[in-house]
């Protein structure tokens, strides 16, 4: 479904990613792990069009999206659930969700998606008229996930969904990722909690200093703590 071919990217003259190649199959969960500063967030931003690749290609469902705008990429079926949630705090919960569907022209489909999200996250329906900034961290994470799903994606990019959450909420986030997978949606998961990421994923890549330094089945990487320690500390 998604293939990166020799992708390099960065910020101005600073190159962060160097010749990165990876794949995500249809309805597959792929984890991307690595130490802080390895380029994981930069990679997701490059896929979603927030940063331009300086070399290589981003191909999704047979379509080259390397130079496509973020709006085109969302319309193609890729949703990005960013680090630290980034909800619009001055807008209501429901307004945040509706903005996630800004490219969906069928208003009936938007209403059905809203009810689907509320069924998945009842607390969001209970607080749908409240300002998003008043939600707890865990509720904001649910809102960020719901907003991403409102675009009816085939692939969701998750950036550190467990960041700053309690162990109970981390288990909820794990359940959410599993449910998304069960719905046939592919997931590329960036997660600092390596054990969590490898438990949820089918396959995994290890990123170090902007390069892919290891790739294997997630279960195999999880069973090789010496390899993980060598790359992740």
pLDDT band at 14 (very low <50, low <70, confident <90, very high): very high
**What pLDDT does residue 224 have?**
86
**Fold exhibited by the domain 2-232:** Rossmann fold (3.40.50)
pTM of the model: 0.91
Instruction: Return the beta strands (E) in the chain as ranges.
Output: 2-11, 14-24, 29-33, 53-60, 63-64, 78-81, 155-159, 186-190, 203-208, 211-217
Domain ranges of the chain: 2-232
Concatenating the DSSP letter of every residue in 64-104 gives E-TT--HHHHHHHTEEEE-TT----TTSBHHHHHHHHTTT-
Q: For residue 72, how many C-alpha atoms fall within 13 Å in the half-sphere facing its CB?
A: 10
Q: What is the pLDDT of residues 100-146, one digit of tens each?
A: 888 887 888 888 889 989 988 899 999 999 999 999 888 898 899 89
């Amino acid at each position: 479904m998604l293939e990166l071919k020799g992708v390099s990217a960065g910020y101005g003259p600073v190159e962060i990613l160097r010749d990165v190649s990876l794949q995500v199959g249809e309805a597959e969960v792929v984890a991307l792990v690595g130490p802080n500063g390895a380029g994981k967030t930069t990679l997701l931003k490059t896929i979603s069009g927030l940063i331009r690749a300086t070399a290589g290609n981003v191909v999704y469902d047979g379509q080259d999206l390397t130079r496509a705008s973020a709006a085109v990429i969302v319309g193609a079926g890729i949703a990005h659930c960013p680090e630290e949630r980034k909800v619009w705090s001055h807008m209501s919960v429901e307004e945040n969700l509706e903005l996630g569907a800004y490219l969906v022209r069928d208003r009936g489909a938007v209403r059905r998606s809203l009810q689907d999200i509320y069924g998945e996250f009842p607390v969001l329906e209970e607080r749908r008229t409240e300002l998003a900034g008043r939600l707890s961290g865990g509720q904001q994470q649910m809102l960020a996930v719901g907003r991403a799903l409102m675009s009816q994606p085939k692939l969701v990019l998750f950036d550190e969904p467990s960041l700053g959450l309690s162990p109970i909420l981390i288990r909820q986030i794990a359940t959410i990722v599993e449910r998304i997978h069960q719905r046939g949606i592919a997931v590329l998961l960036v997660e600092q909690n390596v054990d969590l990421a490898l438990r949820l994923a089918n396959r995994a890549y290890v990123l170090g200093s902007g390069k892919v330094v290891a790739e294997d089945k997630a279960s195999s990487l999880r069973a090789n703590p010496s390899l993980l320690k060598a790359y992740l500390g």
